[in-house]
Amino acid sequence: MKIICEKEKLLKGINSVINGVASKTTMPVLEGILIQTNDKEVKLTTYDLEIGIEYIIECDVEEQGNTVVNAIMFSEIIRKLPDTDITITVNDNNLLVIECEGSLYKLATMNPDEFPELPKINVDNSIEIEQNLLKNMIRKTIFAVSNEENRPIFTGCLFEVKDNKLNVVAVDGYRLAIKSNLLNSKSNDFSVVIPGKTLNEINKIILDSFDSIKIGVSKNQALFEMENCKIVTRLLDGEFLNYRNAVPQNWETRIRVNKNTIQNCFERIILISASSIEKEKKYPVKISIEIGKVTISCTNQTGDAKEEIYVTTEGKNLEAGFNPRYFLDALKVIDDEEVYIDFGTNISPCIIRPIEGDEYTYMILPIRMKD
């Protein structure tokens, strides 16, 4: 095998596949990148038996071949080489030889025949969506997936296609995020749960562009396809939350507020609320709503903090406790200038949504305040 490739192209391919490398495995070959040539292309593949990533690079292929090389070592060497063409060969001793200007490195390789094939997916249903739309949907929901492995179904996002609309839903037991977008082409209804890890990787790879990405699903696998990249992932098994029944349809108290203003308040007050506590949810901030005014306050062993902002209010006065981090996570991803924040009672969920449209909904459960 002998290839000559621009560093920028090669590094982009490596960065796209590197997080599909297995971190803890009894199969050393899964710690590597499979390098395969095909005419004038090189395909890089990684697979940790849960997520597999393929990326195709156009380059000069002088000799065909394939090999597997340790991913971390290979990527660090390429990253630090000069910004010019890199020559990669496999010599007679099965060493991967990397040459670039005055640099010369030789790495041990592994048998490519031992690298497992990515699953072949018989797609039952599929959709196409612009990459920038999918990127935005992931960004506005992924932070609300659960990290608790005892409820694995909530460590992923629900991808639900219903009435030609894609709904992406994340829930962790304390909050819920829903982002929706209409699809341009007609599709069958279906729903699957895609691991959060996979979606984080997809979000790093896809572009903020109008180029499309195709999502295909089978019974237990999903396939994401772009022009030069393919990602295969297992689906999560289990029954997801019936999110439509979980979101309150009515409110008792509503405020309309500048998004940046209230976000800045939470960013300041969290300095006190999170300064000396083990878990923020045990030490909430208190939100007090009166006519035309919201007061956000916190008292703990570190000190006191209080923020007052003047807002448009409707409905009843209210006092309730919340985790400030949950507010901040949502406010950071909302692009609108103003938001509605709707409340029920002091033990009912709170809903944050943009003023216009119904494409994004974020729900937070309150925390019972200590006397």
Query: CB neighbours of 319 closer than 8 A, spacing ≥ 6?
Result: 286, 287, 288, 289, 346, 369
Q: Rounded distance, CA 57 to CA 53, Å?
A: 13
Q: Is the pLDDT of residue 308 over 90?
A: yes
Q: Is the pLDDT of residue 368 over 90?
A: no
pLDDT at position 116 is 95
pLDDT at position 280 is 44
Q: Which residue has the tokens 């597997």?
A: 68
Of 72, 69, 66, give the one whose Cα is nearest residue 113. 66
Q: Which residue has the tokens 């919201």?
A: 294
Percentage, residues of the chain above pLDDT 70: 97
Domains plus CATH for the chain? Answer: 2-114 (3.10.150.10), 125-241 (3.10.150.10), 247-364 (3.10.150.10)
pLDDT at position 104 is 97
Range list of H helices, the chain: 7-17, 71-80, 131-139, 196-205, 243-246, 259-273, 324-333
> Average of pLDDT values for 329-348?
95
Percentage, residues of the chain above pLDDT 90: 87
State the burial class of residue 359 (Cβ atoms within 10 Å of its Cβ: 0-12, 13-18, 19+). Answer: middle
Q: Is the pLDDT of residue 141 over 50?
A: yes
Q: Rounded distance, CA 115 to CA 362, Å?
A: 42
Quickly list DSSP for 302-353: S-EEEEEEE-EEEE--EEEEE-HHHHHHHHHH--SSEEEEEE-STTS-EEEE
pLDDT at position 277 is 47
pLDDT at position 281 is 42
Q: Is the pLDDT of residue 162 over 90?
A: yes
Model confidence at 185, in pLDDT bands (50, 70, 90)?
confident
Q: Is the pLDDT of residue 228 over 70?
A: yes
Q: Rounded distance, CA 331 to CA 349, Å?
A: 16
pLDDT at position 292 is 96
Q: Is the pLDDT of residue 7 over 70?
A: yes
Q: What pTM did the predictor assign?
A: 0.91
- For strands 229-234 and 51-58, give the pairing: antiparallel
Q: Is the pLDDT of residue 115 over 80?
A: yes
> Average of pLDDT values for 228-233?
95
Q: Is the pLDDT of residue 371 over 80?
A: no
Q: Is the pLDDT of residue 78 over 50?
A: yes
Residue 185 tokens, joined = 């082409």
pLDDT at position 64 is 96
What's the mean per-residue pLDDT of the chain? 93
> Average of pLDDT values for 322-343?
95
Residue 271 tokens, joined = 């300095």
Q: Rounded distance, CA 102 to CA 18, Å?
A: 26
Model confidence at 284, in pLDDT bands (50, 70, 90)?
confident
pLDDT at position 301 is 80
Q: Rounded distance, CA 22 to CA 18, Å?
A: 9
pLDDT tens digits along 8-24 = 999 999 999 998 999 88
Nearest-5° angle of CA 211, CA 213, CA 215? 165
Query: CB neighbours of 10 closer than 8 A, spacing ≥ 6?
Result: 57, 59, 78, 86
pLDDT tens digits along 273-283 = 876 544 444 56
